[in-house]
């Protein structure tokens, strides 16, 4: 039985509209990384971001965060933001009952808060971008902004560093939210692409911001 009338997880109410561009306005861009943290690639990306003084949003899977709590703390200590990406990266979460969605969102958010030492979890991103109206509503009622993207680099296909770079250069526009991955498989191409893209984006007049 659907329990859509059950109370959602406790949290401030936010706009349930899917955020696919930054709210900062102007020539801004937001970098986001999914499916981490991972022991090999998250530190490499953190080093690149720190060197170039860039902020980013890390959409982390609860099970990954449980396995790598020190990396979650490193992410937030470096000034980046956290995004809930469910406990197990279940792409069908939006088709479950409201009570199951609430449990999933609450569990993964609580893991991230605990692992980070109390950092807020500002966003929720549906696995594979499989949004439903109910999932948008429940994540917003949980106090997490539903977060989409403007540019999917498809780095998970391992199409090559040049292809990842080209996907951003060809589709960049003011306010773009760019989807990369620091987990889910080998991400050496992503690290190389981000290393190249940051100075290029700056040369085009872009500044790096959080989605909202």
Mean pLDDT of 21-38: 96
Contact assessment for residue 88 and residue 63, using Cβ atoms and an 8 Å cutoff: yes
Active-site choice (122, 155, 181, 182): 181
Average pLDDT, the chain: 93
Mean pLDDT of 127-137: 95
CB neighbour class for 151 (10 Å; exposed up to 12, middle 13-18, buried from 19): buried
Over 50: is that where the pLDDT of 20 sits? yes
The domain 28-208 is classified under which CATH number: 1.10.10.10, 3.10.20.440, 2.30.30.90, 3.20.20.370? 3.20.20.370
For the stretch 145-166, pLDDT in tens is: 999 999 999 999 999 999 999 9
**Where exactly are the structural domains of the chain?**
28-208
How much is the pLDDT for 7?
39
How much is the pLDDT for 13?
62
Contact assessment for residue 71 and residue 95, using Cβ atoms and an 8 Å cutoff: no
For the stretch 164-182, pLDDT in tens is: 999 999 999 999 999 999 9
Active-site choice (34, 35, 84, 182): 34
Over 90: is that where the pLDDT of 3 sits? no
Provide the whole-model pTM: 0.93
User: Is 102 assigned a catalytic role?
Assistant: no
User: Is 181 assigned a catalytic role?
Assistant: yes
Mean pLDDT of 58-72: 96
Sign of the dihedral through C-alpha 135, 82, 85, 114:
negative
């Amino acid at each position: 039985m659907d329990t859509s009338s059950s109370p959602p997880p406790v949290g401030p109410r936010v706009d349930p509209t899917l955020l696919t561009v930054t709210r900062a306005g102007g020539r801004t861009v937001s970098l986001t990384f999914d499916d981490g943290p991972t022991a090999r690639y998250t530190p490499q990306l953190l080093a690149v971001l720190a060197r170039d003084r860039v902020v980013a949003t890390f959409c982390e899977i609860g099970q990954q965060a449980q396995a790598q709590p020190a990396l979650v703390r490193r992410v937030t200590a470096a000034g980046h933001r956290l995004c809930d990406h469910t406990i197990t990266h279940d792409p069908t979460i939006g088709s479950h009952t409201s009570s199951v969605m609430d449990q999933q969102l609450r569990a993964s958010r609580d893991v991230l808060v605990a692992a980070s030492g109390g950092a807020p979890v500002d966003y929720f991103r549906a696995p594979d971008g499989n949004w439903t109206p109910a999932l948008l509503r429940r994540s917003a009622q949980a106090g997490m902004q539903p977060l989409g993207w403007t540019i999917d680099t498809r780095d998970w296909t391992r199409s090559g560093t040049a292809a990842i770079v080209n996907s951003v250069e060809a589709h960049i526009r003011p306010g773009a939210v760019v989807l990369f991955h620091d987990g889910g498989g080998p991400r050496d191409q992503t690290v190389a692409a981000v290393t190249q893209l940051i100075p290029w984006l700056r040369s085009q007049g872009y500044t790096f911001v959080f989605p909202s």
